Structure formats: C-alpha cells, structure tokens
Chains A and B, each alone.
Chain A
Amino acid sequence: MKEKIINLKKEFLKDLDGVNNLGELNEVRVKYLGKKGYIQELSSIMGSLSIEEKKEYGMFLNDFKNEVNELLEKKRQELEELELNKKLETEKIDITLPATDIPVGTFHPLTRVIEEIEELFVSMGYDVVEGPEIELDLYNFEKLNLPKGHPARDAQDSFYITEEVLLRTHTSPVQARIMEANKDKGPIRIICPGKVYRRDEDATHSHQFTQIEGLVIDEGISMAHLKGTLEIFAKKMFGEDRTIRFRPSFFPFTEPSIEADVSCFKCDGKGCPLCKYTGWIEILGAGMVHPNVLRMSGYDPEKYTGFAFGMGPERIAMLKYGINDIRHFYTNDMRFLKDFNRIEGSDE
C-alpha cells in the first residue's frame, strides 16, 4: 500500500511537471483528486484493510492528499501569473503617441501681473478698491491740482464725452474719491487697478491701458516710507536683489514728485541693452500727496501726509516677460495667451 502511494506520488510529480496551462492543471486535479481519481480509488481500498493498517496508511494517504492539494494550488498560482503576464504583454500600448488635449485656459498676462501686485499689497494691509472709468473732469483733473488750462493736462490728452465727463486718463481720481469717502476716518491704505484711456497710439502707447494706483495717508508718512514700500514691491516682482532709486520729477498731484527706477534685473546693474546701459529701469511715478489734493478731499495737510504711486501693469509685464510691443496685450493672439499657461520660474 505504502509502495503504491509512493509510486503514485512519483507519477503525480511527473504529471504536474508536464502541466502547461490551467486546463491541463485541471485534468491532473481530476486524475488524482476527482471522484474517480487515484486518491479516491486508494481510499476505497482502505475499507478492506485492518484497523492498524487503516491507521497507518490512512494517515499516509491523507498526507499525500494534502500535498497534492498544496502543489496543485501552487502550480495554479504560477500558471495564473504566467497567463496574466502574457495578457499584460498583449495589452502593451505605444506610450509615445500624443496625449488627449485636456482643455485648460489661461489668465491674461495683465491679469497675472495685476493679481500678483494686488496680493502683495493686500498682504501688507492695503485694500483693493476701484473707481469709475467714465469720470468727471472734477476728479480726473481738478481735485488732483490740475485746474482747467493747466499745461500738465497736455500730457494726458483725453477722450471727452461731454465738457465735464471724460474717460479717466489715470487711476489717480480714485485717490480723491477714496479720500472724500473716508473723510475724517483717518488713515488710508489702498491700491486701485483699472483701465485708463488716452488719445494717443503707437508702438509704445495704446489708447487704452491699465494702471495701478497706490495711496497711503497717515500721520507722519514720509518719502522713506514710499521708498521702503517700493523696495518690497521691486523685490517681489523682479527678484530679491533689486534696489530702488528715486529721480526727482513732476506730477501736479504730488510734491515732492519722483520717478522710481529699479536696478536692472537682467544685468544686475552692470549695464545691458534692457536698461540702455544705465543699470536702472524706470518703473513708476510717485510722490508725496500734494497738500492741495489732501485739502480738496477733506484731509488736513497739517496733520496728515501721504504718498501715492502709479504704475503700468503693461510695462511691468513687458519687463518681466520680455514682451516687446504693448499691442500684444490687446490683440490676444491665442499663441501669445497660451505662453502664460504655467507657473512662474526663477531665472535669477
């Protein structure tokens, strides 16, 4: 009996070895473990044996049966893995074929620049405000210390709707509006982005463009505060190593007035075509709010001082991204827009 089982085991191992797929494996299983299989056949013989023999061979047979089960299971797993691998092989694709074009849109570059500046100033406690684009001569000029007939009005050739109503030529009227609205409520810290219009157009001028106005009014505000603020702005927009330089200038609504230059971010101030070999790039105009402007809008210039600045997001964007013609912003070539479909890098 024992002999038989040993021989049967040898035969089983041989059969198992010859199995190549799950079908053949099943045949082997039926041959040994089926209702009419060898193991069942041996079990039925067991009935005719003595109790001692039953005990001895029964255990032996049971071990054999367990071993067969185990080996069959092991083989099954091996075969399944093999077949899965075969299937995976057939499912292989060409990963170099083009991807599906998932629709994704872009922010206009001016929006990017404006939002970046807004976020910076909001983080310093400024409020972002707005004002009308169709503005009164009163706010656009007169309350900014530009009475009718003032020669400085020439620099801002305007589109008029009526004698007293025009398209604002700068975002500065918001200064007067905010001061008036805030009268007696003390300090002001605002920026105001928006569209402005001038009767002027060529490669460097567009009849419509954007500006961002900044205004801080408080007791004891000085030009040092203006410089400190613009230094933070310059570092955020053009890199940590940037510095700010003031040049005296003239705006009717600030006194003193300055133009601010940022040290050239391309050559680090050494001189290059971008900065016209000066090491500096003009970025905005600013100054201390003129006492007439404060007074006209209800602030006592003896108590309060303030600074104001005005910058052009177009210019900032042109510098930042190397855009060479202001008209790109308004023709909206899809190829141009899609260039801005990514996060900022860090060239420096």
Chain B
Amino acid sequence: MRVSKSFLSDYIDINDIDFQEIADKMVFAGNEYESIEKISSATNLVVGYILDCQKHPESTKLSICKVDIGDGEHKQILCGAPNVRTGQKVIVAKVGATLPGGITIGKAKLAGLKSEGMICSLAELGIESKYLSEEDKNGIHVFPDDAPIGEDAIKYLRYDDEVIDFDLTANRGDLLSILGMAYEIGTLYNKKVKEPNVDVEEIDEDIHDTRRLKVLTDKCSIYLGKLVKNIVIKESPRFIQTRLMASGIRPINNVVDISNYVMLEFGQPLHFFDADKLVKNVYVRMAEENEKITTLDGIERTLSSNDIVIADDNGPVALAGVMGGLSTEVTEETKNIFIEAAIFHPYNIRHTSKRILRSESSMRYEKGIDSARTLLAIKRACYLLNKYASGEVVSGILTHDVTDKSDKKITITIDKINNVLGMQLDKDTIADVFDRLQFKYTIDKNTFTVLVPTRRLDVNIKEDLIEEVGRIVGYDNVKGILPITSIKRGSYLPKTEFIKNVRKRLTSLGLNEVITYSLISEQDSDKFIKETYEKVILNNPMSEDRKIMRNSLIPSLIEVYHYNSSRNIKDVNIFEIGSCYSKVNEDYVEEAKVSGLLYGNYFINDWQHNIIKVDFYVLKGIIENLLKYLGLANRYNFSNQDLIKDLHPGRSANIIVDNEIIGYLGQIHPNINKKEIYVFELSLDKLMNKRVRNIKFKEIPKYPSINKDVAFIVNKNISSIDIEKVIKKVSGRLLTEVNVFDVYEGENIGKDKKSIAYSLTFQDPNKTLTDEEVTVIFNKIIEEVKKQIGGEVRDK
C-alpha cells in the first residue's frame, strides 16, 4: 500500500510531523515499509513559457526555444522533443537543476548553439511510464494554460508529495485505505480522524422507479446501487491524478479516477457501469458452469459455479469484485452511470481472481471490507462525480444488506493481558491504548469490555486485543526472562542420534557432507533405484528438472560431482544424509538414507609418490569402517548378485547385514559416466533397526600367538571369501585373524589361475599353543582347501 502524505493529510493532521518519523513509528506498530520517497526527486524546475520555437537549421530533431522562466528571465533552450511548440507552458530544468539518476543540468552547446537548461518530460522527472498518458510517454509535458510562469514545477505538479510504500501483513485489510491508515497513525500520535465529505444534493428522480436489484446468492452480503446522470468525462483535477499516481494507479479520466480514488479512501472497491448499456434490472448470482463473459480486456472468460457475477436482464455484465464486463464499460461517450458498492465473499473472489486477475479491487475483497463503509463510499463517489464530473445524483439506493454493523464485544481482564504479554501494565495504560485506537470500552474492576469497530476485521478475540495493547505500548517494555518450569533432560530422537553418529564417522573418514535438493527430474528418478517403486510426483512443479521427490540421493551427488569437476576440482569425496521418498500403497514413505560419491585420489602425497586412488576397496574400507563403528562387525557381507543396473557389473556389490540387503556400493556404470566414479547408498532406517549389543570388556590374551603363512593357487573365478570360509571352519576358535597379504596372477602359475596368500594367526586364550598343535590344523586347512576348492599350495 502506497500512502501519500498529502492524501493522508486530508483526514488527519500530520503536516507538522516528519513523514520519515511516521514511517519508522509504523514499523513498531507492525507495519513495515519498503521505501519512502518523493514522487519526484528533481530540483530546480520551473514552469516556463515558450515564447518562440524554431527548427534548428542543421538538425532534424532539435528545436531552438526561447523560454520565459519567470521574473522576466528569457533563456535559449534546445529541445529534442517532437511535440515542442510556441506558446506551450512546459517544465524547465534550470542550469544547476538535478534530475533523478544523478543528472545535473549545466550550460551546454548542442549542434553549435548554447542551451541554458532543459525542457523536461515527466519520465525525466522519474515518473514510471505506466502512469503516463500516450502524449506524455512520447514527449515533453505540456501544462494547462493557467499554469503560472516561474512557479516551482514540482510543487505545481504536486510531485513534492512524499510516499511511503508499506509492506502490510495479511491480516490488516483495514490498512488498504487512506482512512484506515489515518486511524492507525492517529493511534500512534493520539490524533482524531476527519471523515471525508459525502453530502450531495440529489435530483428529483428515484432509482427504484427504473431498476430493481435481486441478490440470488449468499456470497454477497451487501450490494448497493446508485445512478448518476449526465456526467461530463474529462481529465481529473491535478490532485486526484497525482494522488492516484502516488498510490500506484494510473489516472485515466475523471470518472474512472473517482472510482479508484474512493476505493483508496475507504478501501471499498466500486464498479461503474454505463447505465444505458445495463439492461434494466441488476442481479447478483453465482455463475453457471461454463457460462461465458467478455471482460473489459476483451477476453472471453469461461466461468465456474464458484464465480460470482453481476447480471442484467440480458446476462452477465461483470465478474464480481474482479473485473467488469466489456458490454457495460464506461467509455468517453458514457453519459449516465450505475455505481456498484458491494461486499462479496473473499473465498469466491480469491477463486476467481487467482484465475483471471489480481487487481486492487480483488486484493481488498480477499482481505475483507468494512461493512460500515460501503454506504459512505457510494455516497462519496456521488459527491465527487457531482463536483468533478458535473454528475446529477439520482435519489434512492438499490440496497441489499445482511451485514451486522454492531461493534464486536470482547471482555478481557488486565491480568490476562499482562500474563500473555509478560508486562505489568496498569488500568490507565491499557485504557489509553483503547482510547487511541478509538475503541469504545467500559471497565468493571479489572475487566475491560471493549467494543471493536467493524473496520478492524482482524480484531475478534482476546488475543487480538492483547496484541493491540502489546504493539501500541511497545514490546520494548517486555523484559526477557526464562520460563519457570520443571527441570527435565532434553533429548534427541534415536534416529537423530544415529544420523549424527553416521555423519561424524563419515567426516572423520574424509568425506565432505553436502546437502542437495530433494526434487529431481523424471530422468534422474529412474536411476540408482533398487526396484520399481511408486514415485512421489508434484502436481505443480516449477520446472521439469525439479519434479519428482527422489528415491536415491546418488543422482544429486553426481550433479555435485559435475559441478566440481567442471571447476577443475580433481578429487571429490562427498556424502549426503537425507530422506528418500516413495508411495507405498496409499502412504507416503520417507526413508532416511546415506549416500556417498568418491572420485580421484583418497590419500595424497605427490612428491613422495604416495597416493591412494579411490577404487572399490577404498570404498569397501569406508563402508566396513562405518558398519563396524555401528557395532555390526561380523554381521555383514558383500554380494555381487542382483546388482542394480546403474552400477558396473564387475566392480560393485550389494551390502548385506543379517541377510538383509541394506544398500550397495561400486563403480557407476560406464553408460552413465565413463570416469571411474564410485558411489554407495545405505538405508539408515534399515541399519538403525539392527539391534546392537553394548560394548563388553574382553580379557586381553595372555599367551603368545603363532603365525603361519600360506598361498593357494586357485581358479580365477574363486572368491577369496570362499577360501576364508574353509580356513575358518577348519581352524575353529583357535584362529584369531586371517589376512590376505598378496594376490598374484601371471604366467608363473598358469592361465586362469590366481594365487592368494594368507597370513593366519592362531592363539589359545587359555594356554601357550605349541607348534605341533598348529601344524596339525595348518595341514588340515591345506587338505580341505584342496578338497573343497581345488586350491594347491603355492611353493615359495
């Protein structure tokens, strides 16, 4: 809401108050503003009279003007505007004038001739083109003949008026009017409001003689109609034009401007129909499904049964509260007008305006209208039409009104106010607030009974009154204290704690946490998913890229990889913890997952040639480290069966804990990216459900251990884990460690063969093992590996 100081001054005496101070004070009443500025910041402009205007002999565009700028001063000014003529009164920027955008006018030479000043257009004064008429858009501004030569042009145009652009909260529909603003500022400065003049003489004719009103819907609580005849359409007086412009509305002609002006004053939208085109009676009803109307903008609209329409005997003539119809539009030829002032249901207006147009009018309807102002507004419009458009006001008002205009009664105790605000206000302080707000009240001991006027649609319950007291007294009076409450331990959800632990371990393993968007493209949503799942798809996405709630974090991690690698960052090692979404039956499921992506080098010392490149085994190490950290040592294994399609089939594995697949790891399939990028994804929900025992002390072994090394040559397709299983089975509890210390493939051992060397550690917790005991086991291992796997011992 843009509020001009001069407009406001008509209804409240603020001439001696700095407008900036008002703006700042309003902030602490809950009304923020975005800017405060003059309509034009230009200085040193006067009204000039063009005594003579000649074409420049050497320039097609320039004219040489001799201009009287008052006090008998005549200046030669060169002007490039196409509409400059002898005898015009124009805006002259004198030498030394400043224009918006930091332009200063100096003496100049143009095409060989001196020019002392500049003849200005309104755009050069900083007026946005949306407010300008066609003539003003294309050339200099021409004043009417009665403009006094030498007068300050900014003052004459009333462009020295200051404007605050308020950024209002959604509850304060009452402040979408100058009167509402006057009441609010009146509260802050303890000043009374002067209501606008609405008294007008009416002619000896009654609207009821010619028209009837029928309201056929409960979505219209008030509808008032009035006729004004024989209006003369012309330009509005300067003050109306400038005030509309200051309020963000383009001036059109006196009639249209008056309807907007009254809306700004009262917050009550009006609609003017050309009464001669309005066929007889006026109906307010819900539109029929698929009913058509051509609106003012010439577009044919198809309506639904939630739209309210105004109709005459021929059909719909306006979309209530949103836009008028073309068939009854007020034009230059209009003589008689039918004025509508009504209140429609906000829900329906919102429904219609969301589809068709968000206008100054619909915005006010959506936020609610003071039912006590409808009648005043229609009278005010008649008054102005009579005064500025020579209109003759027909007596009588078509009336439908089912509103309750009595004040809302709210009872509240002083204790309640203080208990909520945490203040210690006395009776007088609170009474003063209600006085300032111009709310009537009675006091009985410590209880206020407050009568809230209809204009404050936002004040309905005790808490609303408490807020009024708080914001007017000022929250600086609240002294912060902590609640006195029983002491208890604050806690995290088990899931949050679990996630914190996973995050802690992964960062300590060198991975950097990222956070990416949950919404991904259709294409990405098919990648890195284990099975077909039902997607969670947006109904109204912003773009195709952000359309589906992801079921895997990996496509997003790949996006982060691309971002970084295209910026020449060679090593990327990242992880993310986040929800993955799906629909299961009718439920939306959010499963917490952790995913990682590693590319490049994991561990680097270049000059020592000591580098560990990311590969499957680095990744496996990270996963094992994490699983062990989570207490799952000895409960996991890796399988290359049933891999998802987006992983390299030879360098990937499913991760299995207690026979349940909880995720996967491996290289991205070259179909997706040819680089050796490794990824993993684990379900945290599944991991969290694994029961893990507490840490329990184990006696440290007292007796020495014995080491034995052995290498087996086996077929290439044999997995190390198969050999390990045999070794473990044969050895039983005496085997405490198995470690692979060498893997060899090559001609020495034959094609399709490989050698895997194990270092085995044996230990008995109860006694010192003898070499003989171990040798017995060792020979049995060799025998069994040969028997079960066909592995031969490799001779040194």
Report yes or no: B30 in contact with A248, Cβ–Cβ below 8 A: yes
Report yes or no: B515 in contact with A224, Cβ–Cβ below 8 A: no
User: Does B694 reach chain A (CB closer than 8 Å)?
Assistant: no
User: Does B746 reach chain A (CB closer than 8 Å)?
Assistant: no
User: Does B117 reach chain A (CB closer than 8 Å)?
Assistant: no
User: Does A124 reach chain B (CB closer than 8 Å)?
Assistant: yes
Report yes or no: B563 in contact with A332, Cβ–Cβ below 8 A: yes
Stretch at the interface among A12-20, A250-258, A269-277: A250-258
User: Does B63 reach chain A (CB closer than 8 Å)?
Assistant: no
Q: A107-B507, A223-B422 are in contact. Are A151 and B569 (CB under 8 A)?
A: no
Q: Mark B533-568, 1 if CB is under 8 A from A, else 0.
A: 000111111100010010000000000100110010
Kindly state the separation between the CA atoms of A27 and B93 in the bound complex, as whole angstroms: 113
User: Does B634 reach chain A (CB closer than 8 Å)?
Assistant: no
Residue of B nearest to A110 (CB): B515
B interface, over-half SS = mixed
Q: A132-B588, A224-B478 are in contact. Are A126 and B564 (CB under 8 A)?
A: no
Report yes or no: B487 in contact with A134, Cβ–Cβ below 8 A: no
List residues 212-241 of chain B with CB under 8 A from any CB of chain A. Answer: none
Residue of A nearest to B463 (CB): A255
Report yes or no: A129 in contact with B493, Cβ–Cβ below 8 A: yes
Q: Which of A189, A245, A338 contacts B476 (CB 8 A)?
A: A245
List residues 184-236 of chain B with CB under 8 A from any CB of chain A. Answer: none
Residue of A nearest to B539 (CB): A160
A residues in contact with B29, CB < 8 Å = 248
Report yes or no: A134 in contact with B588, Cβ–Cβ below 8 A: yes
A residues in contact with B483, CB < 8 Å = 216, 218, 221, 225, 228-229
Report yes or no: A125 in contact with B512, Cβ–Cβ below 8 A: no
Report yes or no: A106 in contact with B507, Cβ–Cβ below 8 A: yes
User: Does B789 reach chain A (CB closer than 8 Å)?
Assistant: no
Report yes or no: B541 in contact with A159, Cβ–Cβ below 8 A: yes
Stretch at the interface among B152-160, B335-343, B598-606: B598-606
Report yes or no: B491 in contact with A201, Cβ–Cβ below 8 A: no
Stretch at the interface among B246-254, B573-581, B677-685: B573-581
B residues in contact with A89, CB < 8 Å = none
Report yes or no: A256 in contact with B507, Cβ–Cβ below 8 A: no
Report yes or no: B567 in contact with A332, Cβ–Cβ below 8 A: no
Q: Mark A37-76, 1 if CB is under 8 A from B, else 0.
A: 0000000000000000000000000000000000000000
Q: Mark B453-494, 1 if CB is under 8 A from A, else 0.
A: 000000001111011001100011011111101111111110
Residue of B nearest to A108 (CB): B513
Report yes or no: B422 in contact with A222, Cβ–Cβ below 8 A: yes
Min distance, Cβ A33 to any Cβ of chain B, angstroms: 41
Stretch at the interface among B168-176, B322-330, B699-707, B758-766: B168-176
Q: Mark B654-673, 1 if CB is under 8 A from A, else 0.
A: 00000000000000000000
Q: A229-B482, A332-B516, A334-B512 are in contact. Are A224 and B475 (CB under 8 A)?
A: no
User: Does A137 reach chain B (CB closer than 8 Å)?
Assistant: no
Report yes or no: B500 in contact with A338, Cβ–Cβ below 8 A: no
Kindly state the separation between the CA atoms of A101 and B604 in the bound complex, as whole angstroms: 5
B residues in contact with A125, CB < 8 Å = 485, 487-490
Report yes or no: A224 in contact with B479, Cβ–Cβ below 8 A: yes
Kindly state the separation between the CA atoms of A123 and B333 in the bound complex, as whole angstroms: 75
Q: A133-B590, A151-B170, A161-B538 are in contact. Are A228 and B512 (CB under 8 A)?
A: no
A residues in contact with B560, CB < 8 Å = 331-332
Kindly state the separation between the CA atoms of A332 and B37 in the bound complex, as whole angstroms: 41
User: Does A203 reach chain B (CB closer than 8 Å)?
Assistant: no
B residues in contact with A227, CB < 8 Å = 422, 475, 478-481
Report yes or no: B490 in contact with A247, Cβ–Cβ below 8 A: no
Report yes or no: B478 in contact with A199, Cβ–Cβ below 8 A: no
Residue of B nearest to A195 (CB): B518
Report yes or no: A123 in contact with B490, Cβ–Cβ below 8 A: yes
User: Does A121 reach chain B (CB closer than 8 Å)?
Assistant: yes
Count, chain B residues at interface, CB 8 A: 94
Q: Mark B138-161, 1 if CB is under 8 A from A, else 0.
A: 000000000000000000000000
Count, chain A residues at interface, CB 8 A: 90
User: Does A291 reach chain B (CB closer than 8 Å)?
Assistant: yes
User: Does B607 reach chain A (CB closer than 8 Å)?
Assistant: yes
Q: A128-B492, A134-B590, A232-B482 are in contact. Are A105 and B463 (CB under 8 A)?
A: no
Report yes or no: B467 in contact with A104, Cβ–Cβ below 8 A: no
A residues in contact with B421, CB < 8 Å = 222-224, 256
User: Does A231 reach chain B (CB closer than 8 Å)?
Assistant: yes
Kindly state the separation between the CA atoms of A125 and B484 in the bound complex, as whole angstroms: 12
Residue of B27, B495, B513 with highest tally of chain A CB at under 10 A: B513
User: Does B496 reach chain A (CB closer than 8 Å)?
Assistant: yes
User: Does B312 reach chain A (CB closer than 8 Å)?
Assistant: no
User: Does B741 reach chain A (CB closer than 8 Å)?
Assistant: no
Residue of A nearest to B27 (CB): A247
B residues in contact with A23, CB < 8 Å = none
B residues in contact with A249, CB < 8 Å = 30, 169
Kindly state the separation between the CA atoms of A199 and B541 in the bound complex, as whole angstroms: 8
Report yes or no: B513 in contact with A111, Cβ–Cβ below 8 A: yes
A residues in contact with B476, CB < 8 Å = 245-246
User: Does B748 reach chain A (CB closer than 8 Å)?
Assistant: no
Kindly state the separation between the CA atoms of A187 and B258 in the bound complex, as whole angstroms: 56
Kindly state the separation between the CA atoms of A257 and B458 in the bound complex, as whole angstroms: 13
Report yes or no: A122 in contact with B515, Cβ–Cβ below 8 A: no
Kindly state the separation between the CA atoms of A134 and B493 in the bound complex, as whole angstroms: 19
Kindly state the separation between the CA atoms of A245 and B27 in the bound complex, as whole angstroms: 12
Q: A111-B513, A249-B30 are in contact. Are A201 and B542 (CB under 8 A)?
A: yes
Min distance, Cβ A211 to any Cβ of chain B, angstroms: 14
Report yes or no: B513 in contact with A291, Cβ–Cβ below 8 A: no
B residues in contact with A333, CB < 8 Å = 563-564, 567, 569
Kindly state the separation between the CA atoms of A141 and B461 in the bound complex, as whole angstroms: 20
User: Does A102 reach chain B (CB closer than 8 Å)?
Assistant: yes
Complex A-B: 29 CB contacts under 8 Å: A98-B605, A100-B610, A105-B507, A108-B514, A125-B488, A134-B581, A159-B539, A160-B540, A161-B539, A165-B588, A207-B542, A207-B546, A223-B423, A223-B470, A224-B421, A228-B482, A228-B483, A244-B480, A249-B169, A255-B461, A255-B464, A256-B463, A288-B420, A288-B466, A332-B564, A334-B569, A334-B572, A334-B574, A338-B512
Apart from A122-B491, A208-B518, A256-B467: 15 A-B pairs, beta carbons within 8 A: A102-B510, A103-B573, A105-B507, A107-B503, A124-B490, A133-B579, A151-B366, A207-B517, A224-B479, A225-B483, A232-B482, A247-B32, A248-B29, A288-B466, A334-B572
Shortest beta-carbon contacts, A-B, top 6:
A224-B422, A103-B510, A248-B30, A222-B422, A250-B169, A246-B475
